[in-house]
């Protein structure tokens, strides 16, 4: 799926040129790719004399706050009012998602906005957001789309932009070891380092500043890991009570999914997180043999063939056996590997 031809990029430049106030937003529980892409674009817009700010639904993980050097990011938890500046934007740039569900409590404000809308994304699952779409599922990260977008604007890449883009690329490739890492990934990383990104500094800021509370949550999570499907599935659970027991905030459950797929012999890893508003958040990771994005779409979720997520309107006790059983059935029948979907 590619919507990034030359005519589209000309349209991108025209949209940015005509805009004065730009709001950048991404998905709930934003990751490094989402926030890095938004920040790099925000800096590019500012260099062009535009007013630009970043807003995300819910909360922003502390580990990425080091990128927000100008204190321009704003989070909007459930129940909070939409910022007035957002309502006055004449261009919305939505990065790293193309679905209403991932916009969470900002979705209605996006629907009502009279601003022009742009989606920059690399995920397979896409809704009609009434936006001009720049989507390339062959890209290893939305950060690549953001980089292309900045190049098209003829903006000089500053060290701060390079750092933000490096965060996007490095985190979405698992620090260059996930299957989406390509030869061109290292070429882009080299360009960003030459432009001022410091990999050592960035890695320390993201991965070596854990709180004791987060580490306690990880320990509790690891104790509960379970195998299913004759050892081909590994799943873990985070309950609401775990946050009180460990002192960790809910965002500290992000990235725990990686431990499930790291178990030898496991083909699909699952993370079940109990949500305070009710329901269960499910994250999927696959080594191959099953397209978990298509699987997540059954529950109105989505993502990549090898990494996806969904929110089920079910308690943990019902969500866990239903999802595990569905994955077992998918693994039991022959089918195309996710590599086939990546090329489509």
DSSP string, 30-71: --HHHHHHHHHHHHHHHHTT-EEEEEEES---GGGGGG-TT-
- Residues with Cβ within 8 Å of 224's Cβ and at least 6 positions away in sequence, in order, are 236, 237
pLDDT in tens, 248-306: 999 899 889 999 999 999 999 999 999 988 999 999 999 877 899 899 999 988 888 88
pLDDT value of position 6 = 53
Q: What is the mean pLDDT of residues 136-161?
A: 96
**Shortest CA distance to 306 belongs to which of 180, 152, 212, 190?**
180
- Residues with Cβ within 8 Å of 25's Cβ and at least 6 positions away in sequence, in order, are 38, 54, 55, 56, 57, 92, 93, 94, 95, 103, 106, 110
Question: Percent of the chain scored above 70 by pLDDT?
Answer: 94
Triad 145, 148, 151: Cα angle to 5°: 150
- Sheet with strand 307-312: strands edge to edge: 226-228, 233-238, 268-274, 280-286, 307-312, 302-303
Domain 6-207: give its CATH code: 3.90.1640.10
Whether 342 has a pLDDT exceeding 60, the answer reads no
Domain residues of the chain, as ranges?
6-207, 214-343
Report pTM: 0.84
123 neighbors 26 (Cβ within 8 angstroms): no
In angstroms and rounded to an integer, the radius of gyration of the C-alpha atoms of the chain is 20
Place of tokens 């925000």: 42
Distance separating alpha carbons of residues 117 and 94, to the nearest angstrom: 7
DSSP assignment letter at 155: P
Distance separating alpha carbons of residues 304 and 311, to the nearest angstrom: 16
Question: Percent of the chain scored above 90 by pLDDT?
Answer: 82
pLDDT value of position 341 = 32
Q: Based on DSSP, count helices (H) and strands (E) in the chain, helices before strands.
A: 15, 12
**Shortest CA distance to 225 belongs to which of 190, 264, 174, 193?**
264
CATH 3.40.50.2300 fits 214-343, yes or no: no
Which ranges of the chain would DSSP assign to H, the alpha helix?
6-18, 32-47, 84-87, 100-103, 107-112, 142-152, 159-172, 183-194, 199-207, 212-223, 240-246, 257-261, 292-297, 316-332, 338-343
pLDDT value of position 107 = 95
Whether 18 has a pLDDT exceeding 50, the answer reads yes
């Amino acid at each position: 799926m590619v919507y990034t031809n030359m005519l589209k990029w000309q349209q991108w430049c025209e949209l940015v040129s005509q805009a004065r106030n730009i709001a950048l937003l991404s998905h709930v529980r934003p990751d490094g790719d989402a926030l890095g892409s938004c920040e790099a674009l925000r800096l590019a817009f500012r260099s062009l004399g535009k007013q630009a700010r970043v807003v995300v639904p819910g909360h922003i993980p502390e580990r990425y706050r080091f990128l927000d050097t100008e204190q321009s990011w704003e989070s909007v938890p459930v129940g909070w009012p939409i910022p007035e500046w957002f309502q006055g934007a004449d261009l919305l740039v939505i990065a790293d998602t193309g679905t209403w569900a991932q916009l969470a409590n900002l979705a209605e404000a996006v629907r009502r906005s009279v601003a022009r809308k742009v989606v920059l994304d690399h995920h397979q699952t896409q809704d009609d957001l009434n936006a001009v779409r720049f989507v390339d599922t062959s890209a290893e990260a939305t950060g690549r789309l953001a980089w292309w977008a900045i190049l098209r604007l003829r903006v000089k890449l500053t060290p701060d932009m390079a750092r933000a883009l490096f965060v996007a690329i490095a985190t979405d490739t698992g620090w260059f070891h996930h299957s989406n890492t390509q030869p061109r990934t290292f070429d882009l990383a080299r360009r960003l380092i030459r432009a001022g990104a410091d990999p050592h500094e960035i890695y320390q800021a993201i991965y070596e500043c854990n709180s004791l509370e987060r580490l306690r949550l990880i320990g509790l999570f690891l104790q509960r890991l379970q195998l299913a499907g004759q050892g081909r599935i590994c799943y873990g659970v985070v309950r609401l009570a775990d946050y009180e027991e460990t002192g960790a905030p809910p965002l500290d459950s992000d990235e725990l999914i990686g431990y499930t797929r790291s178990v030898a012999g496991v083909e699909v890893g699952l993370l079940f997180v109990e949500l305070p508003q009710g329901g269960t958040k499910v994250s999927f990771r696959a080594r191959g043999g099953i397209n978990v994005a298509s699987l997540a779409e059954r529950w109105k979720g989505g993502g990549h063939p090898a990494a996806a997520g969904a929110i089920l309107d079910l308690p943990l006790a019902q969500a866990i056996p239903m999802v595990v059983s569905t994955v077992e059935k998918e693994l039991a029948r022959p089918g195309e590997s996710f590599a086939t979907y990546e090329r489509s």
